[in-house]
Amino acid sequence: MNPFRRTPKDRDDAANTPSDTPRESTGTNDASSNAASQGDAHADPDATASLLDELQDTIRRLTSERDAAIDAHKRTLADFQNYQRRAIQNEHTAREQGVRSVLTSIIPVLDHFDLALTQDASRSSAKQVIDGVTMIKDELVRVLGNSGVQPIRPGQGDEFDPTRHEAVMHMPAENVPAGKVVMTLRIGYMLGDRLVRPAQVAVAPEAAAPSPERGDQPSA
């Protein structure tokens, strides 16, 4: 039997026997970790300066963007205020031009009145006076019509329109149904689609219910 041949039992014993060779200590790894920690605690001055420069650049950029936004807001506000002033001025100018246009048309009508008043009344008959006044009135109506003003003059038997008529009284009339216009008391006027003044009218009343005769009343 070979004395140097190892049996299976010997191999198992050798595997279970602690090795006498000391293992490398983990102290090296611990030292490396401590060194890294100290390196983090004492960062590279160049890296710190670079980070500060980046932060300062960011602050400058944000400050510039803020100032630009404030300036843009101020310009927008100034533009809007200028627009409001121009709109008010344009509205005022348009109103003056409209009034001037109407006055330019009406002034000749006043000239007709002045001409009529210079006539010798003793030489004019009532018919001539009425004809003169009618002519001036027609001229004024024509001028107003050119400016978009139209009269509201409902006739007898027309439907009562509460949007354009104002009922001021009831007036019975033959052949006029209840609620219909009997006559126009004052002419109304429209300016385009807008009501300037409603026409005042008299309206036919509802038929009164017949009162019971005395003999039909029940006795007490």
* pLDDT tens readout for residues 86-130: 999 999 999 898 888 888 888 998 898 888 888 887 888 888 888
* pLDDT at 209 (0 to 100): 56
* pLDDT at 22 (0 to 100): 47
The three-state DSSP-derived secondary structure of 89-138 is: HHHHHHHHHHHHHHHHHHHHHHHHHHHHHCCCHHHCCHHHHHHHHHHHHH
Three-state DSSP class for residue 173: coil
Is the pTM higher than 0.75? The answer reads no
**Residue 148 structure tokens:** 């978009």
* pLDDT at 208 (0 to 100): 61
The answer to whether residue 154 is domain-embedded is: yes
**Residue 100 structure tokens:** 């001037």
Q: From CA 78, how far away is CA 59, in angstroms rounded?
A: 29
* pLDDT at 124 (0 to 100): 81
The answer to whether residue 112 is domain-embedded is: no
* pLDDT at 126 (0 to 100): 86
* pLDDT at 7 (0 to 100): 58
The answer to whether residue 186 is domain-embedded is: yes
The answer to whether residue 160 is domain-embedded is: yes
Q: From CA 134, how far away is CA 153, in angstroms rounded?
A: 17
Work out how many domains the chain is built from and give that number.
Answer: 1
Compute the Cα dihedral for 167, 172, 173, 179 and give only its sign.
positive
* pLDDT at 16 (0 to 100): 55
The CATH number covering residue 156 comes to 2.30.22.10
The answer to whether residue 166 is domain-embedded is: yes
Give average pLDDT by consecutive 10-residue segment, the chain, 220 residues. 54 54 50 53 74 92 94 95 94 90 88 86 84 90 90 95 96 92 96 95 81 54
Contact 197, 189 (CB under 8 A): yes
* pLDDT at 154 (0 to 100): 96
Q: From CA 56, how far away is CA 134, in angstroms rounded?
A: 89
Q: Which residues have a Cβ under 8 Å from the Cβ of 158 and sit 6 or more positions away?
A: 180, 181
The answer to whether residue 195 is domain-embedded is: yes
Q: Which residues have a Cβ under 8 Å from the Cβ of 71 and sit 6 or more positions away?
A: none
Listed residue (130, 128, 131, 135) closest to 112, CA to CA:
135
Domain range for 186 is 150-207
The answer to whether residue 35 is domain-embedded is: no
The answer to whether residue 194 is domain-embedded is: yes
